[in-house]
Structure 1
Amino acid sequence: MHGGALVFGGGAACRHGAGVQADQLGMTVWSIDYRLPPAHPYPAALDDCLAVYRSALAAHAADRIVIGGRSAGGNLAAAMLVRARDEGLPMPAGLALLSPEVDLTESGDSFAVNAGVDAMLPGSLMAPNRLYAGGADLAHPYLSPLFADLAGFPPSLLLTGTRDLFLSNTVRMHRRLLAARVLAELHVFEAMPHGGFGGAPEDREAAAEVTRFVHARLGRQAG
């Protein structure tokens, strides 16, 4: 699921992101061009993601699928699995959350500490959060999966940086997964802002961690 503060990032950008991920992973990638507000507020994007997951399950066994999302896409990836579990669908082989926007209420410490520090997201995204929610409760688990019951989630990888506005989102989600007895690994990169450095060696290292995780969950050899 692509990023974009839940209000942009579709179309050509979505297709480009799928190509980048397919090249990185060496496998087929489905990137969901989910509907966006203001024309299509919640739950349109979540409905679209769940519909695609159902289609993926019709074509592939659940243990041959890994779900992933960056930033806003991390919100939808996690929220979609909460809803999929609630509707009785099987969980995929793994979940990769890259600086996920899993708390639309912005209650974490890093929303204060890293405000003005993160070069990519200098401050609150509350305005697009509310636009996406369309009047729904921002703390609802389908909007802020940080507050969901995460029991039964698949093994997960979470990645963030010390200057990421969403550092608290990622760290707290990791702790919630562990509390739910889910196998989860957390990677925090020094001085990394939201979304990475834009081509530095640390970005390649982070991408390699994601590739390793995905290949391991699907029983493939990396490289």
Structure 2
Amino acid sequence: APHPAALQDALTVYKVLATSKDVNAIALGGTSAGGGLTLALMQKIRDLDITPPKALYAGSPWADLTKTSDTLYSLEGIDRVLVSYDVLLKDAAKLYAGTEVLTAPPVSPLYGSFNQFPPTYLISGTRDLLLSDTVRVHRAIKKAGGHAELNVYEGLSHAEYLANLNTDESQQVYLELAAFLKPLLSD
């Protein structure tokens, strides 16, 4: 569904979760468009002064729906999953944004503020078309004074760790993500 449906739905669920569970035990996360939604949701949570989650993770986040990130050009045809911005992402961006401009923070969180973000774990691969989005998010969080950990895995295309769970790289992604989250979350 076009914006703002996904963000509103995610916010509704988070509000219920945050009032029914200990927020010290909550981490939010998503991959690809879900990674971008996670970042936009965190910006919305902060702006509404809702108690934030203890941690975030964003795997290969689609955080800028415009065609401005370097790896959209340099890794075109190399990413085995997304292949090219013009093949899939261009139309998906327009469909998702609906009537919103592509640079509006609720659809492209890289154009918003990363102040007061909880510790954030970022995942990408050296063949990921959205590697630059992931790097830019990392820099934005650090520039805002937050803690972000960027993990780039050799040879992985966009979100490939989800599709090939039995590879060494995928296993490493999940082990390292668990090691990041465990000390941040309450028992």
TM class, shorter-chain normalised? over 0.9
Aligned partner (choices 151, 163, 166) of residue 130 of structure 2: 166
Deviations 1:143-182 (A, max 9, x none): 1111111110100000101100000000010000000010
Q: In the comparison of the two structures, how many residue pairs are matched?
A: 181
Three-state SS of the structure 2 residue aligned to 1:204 is helix
Deviations 1:26-52 (A, max 9, x none): xxxxxxxxxxx2xxx110010000000
Query: 2: CA distance between counterparts of 1:153 and 1:172?
Result: 15
4+ residue runs over 4 A deviation? none
Equivalent residue letter for 1:131 = L
- TM-score, normalised relative to structure 2: 0.93
Partner of 1:218: 185
Partner of 2:160: 196
CA shift for structure 1 position 212: 1.4
CA shift for structure 1 position 219: 4.3
Three-state SS of the structure 2 residue aligned to 1:82 is helix
Equivalent residue letter for 2:18 = L
Q: Does 1:179 align with 2:143?
A: yes
Q: Does 1:64 align with 2:54?
A: no
CA shift for structure 1 position 61: 2.5
Instruction: Give the number of the structure whose residues are more often helix, by fraction.
Output: 2
Aligned partner (choices 137, 151, 174) of residue 115 of structure 2: 151
Query: 1: CA distance between counterparts of 2:91 and 2:101?
Result: 14
Three-state SS of the structure 2 residue aligned to 1:186 is strand
Query: 2: CA distance between counterparts of 1:151 and 1:190?
Result: 30
CA shift for structure 1 position 196: 2.1
Aligned partner (choices 42, 48, 58) of residue 3 of structure 2: 42
Moved more, 211-220 or 45-54: 211-220
Equivalent residue letter for 2:75 = N
Identity percentage over the alignment?
Answer: 38
CA shift for structure 1 position 185: 0.6
Runs of at least 5 residues in structure 2 that lack an aligned partner in the other structure: none
- TM-score, normalised relative to structure 1: 0.79
Deviations 1:54-89 (A, max 9, x none): 011111132221000111100111101101111111
Deviations 1:98-143 (A, max 9, x none): 1111111131100001110000110110101100111211111111
Q: Mapping of 1:2-13 within 5 angstroms?
A: none
Aligned partner (choices 149, 155, 176) of residue 209 of structure 1: 176
Higher relative contact order (CA 8 A, sep 6+): 2
Query: Do the aligned partners of 2:115 and 2:146 also contact (CA within 8 Å) in 1?
Result: yes
Query: 2: CA distance between counterparts of 1:97 and 1:216?
Result: 18
CA shift for structure 1 position 90: 1.4
